[in-house]
Structure 1
């Protein structure tokens, strides 16, 4: 069985390693246009902030490691065209310019995503950077050394993490986003208010509800960011507006969402036989709504890649869907969420109720007992739980992993109230915080 893989980050690496282990006779060839594989882009802010000293720790595989599994890894090779009917690839060696053909029995598409680059006047000025791959991270670190004022455009997870990293390195930081709140996809206002206040305490300038209209520069380098509401002097700009699937090669050949995400079924199969896709280039089923959506997360990618290997020869293991569970640390606060926020549930046309509690996470007779705030979103009629959010100074984020399972299994608020959780004063109260939230709903 000849297996060709296009792209090798989270999903690709998971698919390759598991395919090599499951099918000892498989002839696996990987085509990667970059000269490195498996970079953890979610670690860029940690690298930029100096928390991670050695960037090699952010690579979790290598061509050498894959070679030990019998995998042929073709670095700096770009796939130019695919003949799905005859199962052939046209490939270009980016170092030599040589072009050649290869054939396959099974094709795995894990081409990932690429940052959205808006068409704004001045976007090509020097010192306007992206934050996605290993080279981006090195460029950001190098350019930031001489930059006094840094502007981050986009207040999603990557933008927010970079803002904190730059501030901790002594930079003057401005965060711009067209929405009126940071992290608005993941958290409701009462949670983002706390995070925003923390940023203000650290002298970070928030320019929210503002859209960048122009970049101005001097001697070819950016010096000013102009929005619809203001102007901000800057030495360096990092664009963190979002991502779109890297799937131009497959347009018109595979079924896709309007944004280019390849539609896959629960076995990671595309609309063409023997063609599989996973990770940031593909769709997932979002369990809170039951709809097929684009949710580019590393967790989704590694699961989907692993499932491709299991389902490569015959369908054996279904994807369970996702809740889009995620977490972030902002200074002293540990924050996590899963499923729908109240705002996103209402935007989706769902009738929902919510319950919010603030309580100490363990008994008050203990030496310390930090507060935690939890919000649960549930459907009005069925009382099925659709989402949850948490903020606390003690790390209680694993509670949102529990809530992810709750949502996946379609549990109700009544059922959560009486779920069996252990009690030990070091860790919690006789009624777990999740029990307390659910009981409070009644």
Structure 2
């Protein structure tokens, strides 16, 4: 059996390492256009901020390790065409320019995603950079050393973490986003207000509800970012606008969402039974809605890559869907979310209610305790939990993993009130704050 894997970051690495063990007689060939595998891009801000000093720690595998497992690693090879009917692919060696044609029995698309680059006037000026891979991380660090005024475009997780890193290094930072709130995909307003206030108190300029129209420059280098509301002096701009799936190679050959994400079934199989997809290249079932959605997260990618390997020959383990569970630490605040925000649920025409708990994490007789804010979103008719958010200076983010399991198993807000959680004064109160959310919802 000949297996071709295109792309080798999280999903690809997981797929290859599993297939090497599951199918020792298979001929596994990996095509990767970069010279590295398995880079944790979610650690870029930690690297930029100096929390992670050695970027090599952000790699958890290497081409050499995968070769030892038996995979043929075609590094610095860009696949330029796929013929799914003939089961062939064409790739170019980026070092020599040589073109190679290969055949496959099974194909795994783990091509990932690439930052969205809008066609804005002046976008090709020097010092306008992306934040996705190892090279980007090093470029940002090098250019930030010489920069005083840094603008981050995009207030998602990566953008927010970079703003914190730059501010901590004493830079003048501007954050621009067309949405009127930071982290609007992950958190409702009562949470994002706290983050915004934290930034403003530290001198960060928030240009929210503004869209970039133009980049101005001198001598080929960016000097100003022009938005729908004003101009911001900048000698470095980092674009963190979002991601789109790298799936052009299969356009018209497998079913996709409008954004190009490959639609896969619960076995990671595309509409072509011999083509599997995993990670940021595909769309999977989003449990809060039951529909396919594009949710590019490293956690999703490694699960999907593992399942693609295990289901390649025989359907064995179904994917359980995702809640899009994620977390972030901004200064002293530990924040996590799962499923839908109240805002997102309303936009999806879901009839939802929410319960918000303002509580201390431990009994007040303990020497120290911290406030915690928990919000749980649930359907009004069925009372099924569809989302949750938590924030505290105490690290209570694991509670969101618990609620992720609740959503995955279609639990109701009423059931949450009576789940068996332990009590110990060092850690919590007799009624866990998750229980309290369920109990309050029953009475609301």
TM-score normalised according to structure 1 size: 0.99
Pairing 1:179-198 to 2, within 5 Å after superposition: 179-198=179-198
Query: Equivalent residue of 2:263, what SS?
Result: coil
1:213-269: CA deviation from partner (whole Å, max 9, x where unpaired): 010000000000010101100110000000000111111111100100001000000
1:339-383: CA deviation from partner (whole Å, max 9, x where unpaired): 011100010001111100110111111111100000010100111
CA deviation after TM superposition for structure 1 residue 273, in Å: 1.9
In the alignment, structure 1 residue 438 sits paired with structure 2 residue 438: yes
In the alignment, structure 1 residue 412 sits paired with structure 2 residue 409: no
Paired position in structure 1 for 2:370: 370
In the alignment, structure 1 residue 307 sits paired with structure 2 residue 307: yes
Pairing 1:13-24 to 2, within 5 Å after superposition: 13-24=13-24
1:277-331: CA deviation from partner (whole Å, max 9, x where unpaired): 0100001100000010100000110000000111010111100000000100010
1:44-86: CA deviation from partner (whole Å, max 9, x where unpaired): 0000000000000001110110011011111000111112122
Pairing 1:166-315 to 2, within 5 Å after superposition: 166-315=166-315
1:358-415: CA deviation from partner (whole Å, max 9, x where unpaired): 1011111111110000001010011111100001000000000000000000001110
Distance in 1 (CA, whole Å) between partners of 2:210 and 2:88 is 47
In the alignment, structure 1 residue 316 sits paired with structure 2 residue 320: no
Paired position in structure 1 for 2:394: 394
Distance in 1 (CA, whole Å) between partners of 2:191 and 2:350 is 21
CA deviation after TM superposition for structure 1 residue 146, in Å: 0.5
CA deviation after TM superposition for structure 1 residue 178, in Å: 0.4
Paired position in structure 1 for 2:127: 127
1:115-168: CA deviation from partner (whole Å, max 9, x where unpaired): 000111110100000000000000000000000000000000000000000001
Query: Equivalent residue of 1:158, what SS?
Result: helix
Post-superposition, which runs of at least 4 consecutive aligned residues in structure 1 deviate over 6 A? none
Distance in 1 (CA, whole Å) between partners of 2:175 and 2:343 is 22
Distance in 2 (CA, whole Å) between partners of 1:63 and 1:352 is 48
CA deviation after TM superposition for structure 1 residue 87, in Å: 1.3
Aligned residues: 442
Query: Equivalent residue of 1:283, what SS?
Result: strand
Paired position in structure 2 for 1:98: 98
Distance in 2 (CA, whole Å) between partners of 1:246 and 1:171 is 34
Query: Equivalent residue of 1:183, what SS?
Result: coil
Query: Equivalent residue of 2:262, what SS?
Result: coil
Unaligned runs of 5+ in 1: none
Pairing 1:75-114 to 2, within 5 Å after superposition: 75-114=75-114
Unaligned runs of 5+ in 2: none
Alignment root-mean-square deviation, CA: 0.6
Distance in 2 (CA, whole Å) between partners of 1:383 and 1:113 is 35
